[in-house]
Structure 1
């Protein structure tokens, strides 16, 4: 489907004109900036706000198309005055996003009677986040989302999601699971706020969205794992020294001490000291494989489960006993 900017551009070209867009303001902190765009065409002017310039421009174009439709211009669906949005709701479609607020203003100029103005607004705040924060702050049962419907051809799927808080449920349908979940959360959140307004009077939506954003960032940072970078300067002759090159000497000594203690599970104890992970799997044909996420990565295989583990232990014993070459000796051998 063509975007509102494209549809408006094509309409204006047929009239030998072009719409005039201008970014007139930017407000808020850098990580949560709001942009305001103005669009003027055929004597009408509208403004719209969004979290990005692209979204603000698209929203301004959508409002302009509705304004032109109100003036009697033929506007293609679904951007006409009474057309339904692509997501199945009335009015302009706005992409739902966490912690995003979108507002739009539409004003008439010139040909509109009395120069009256009307306001059009579309909400794009994350009701999933708001409902979660509301439940956390007032100790409500956890929110449960369930996909209860999936209909339509592959190119036009319709998903129905049910949101539940305790015994209260709501359902919503949209062309994506994310949009359906947002709508279901919005219905349930609106119901709770309307019926618990006296009890939730201190609940501030903007603060709740900020908290939800901060929690999401914390989870993201906690889930990030430091990626092991390959040693591009390692030569093939020193490949076997890669393990001791990337692990501190005291860890190597402690790991070897664990091997001397015996008692079973030496491999697990050594890897725990070295800070390495091990995965065991069985390939087709009954081949047992042990993989160690060292640098370089290690893999050992055998027809018996104990064979790759024994091979891994022998390798670790030899590798940890090695001493990596000093920079001086490496330089002299390279020069020679």
Structure 2
């Protein structure tokens, strides 16, 4: 089992007869989305890290301290010996917001920039991840043609955002003369419109969802079957056996009548099931005739409601 950054740092400091110092220096955001900032001091170095829990922030601070000490020449065990850029806090959807970048999506900006000036489309790959399961650090590679940047963060999406941010600023700075007419607000608006179009298309292709304004009892009934079912119920003689009347109504509605026995205290219970239906229609009674009568009462009530609704 891999040791946590806090454990590794503690063991490393014992060699110097020292102990790392941790302090929670800040808390921001609403209670259900709080972000904590922890500071770690060791061997004269100071680092800070943020996360959505104190435990994760402390682990991240210890990881950053190990990376700092490794860069300073101390012998730090793998995988913490490789310096890793500070990981930003998770502040929402990584595709929409990157820490320190406000509300701008640099992935969207970079994509719009590439499309407008005929550059190769940006590509993102996961280069690696380190740390325990509760404090992972992901490294993503963003590339536009021959230009590439690496960035690390606590989520894959945030790492991609940071890589896109570095590439975007590099291209804007080095192609300033060519991209001076590129307006970020307009580009973000276009990206949003395209995203909404894709969403509408996806919704159009999705199977229809039930109308939640309907009564649950109506979900299994289609309009063209209402009249047939109502006619079958009205055609049943007043003295007809409930089972025969139920069988005729079920056939008119395109439903299958099934009978099942359920063991119960004092004898079996009889279940009458109409299938296929959504939600499932199951009626239970002590006898077959009583179960059929319960099902008929339900159908008559439903048909009466539907007849009133149609008129």
Q: TM-score, normalised by structure 1?
A: 0.40
Larger radius of gyration: 2
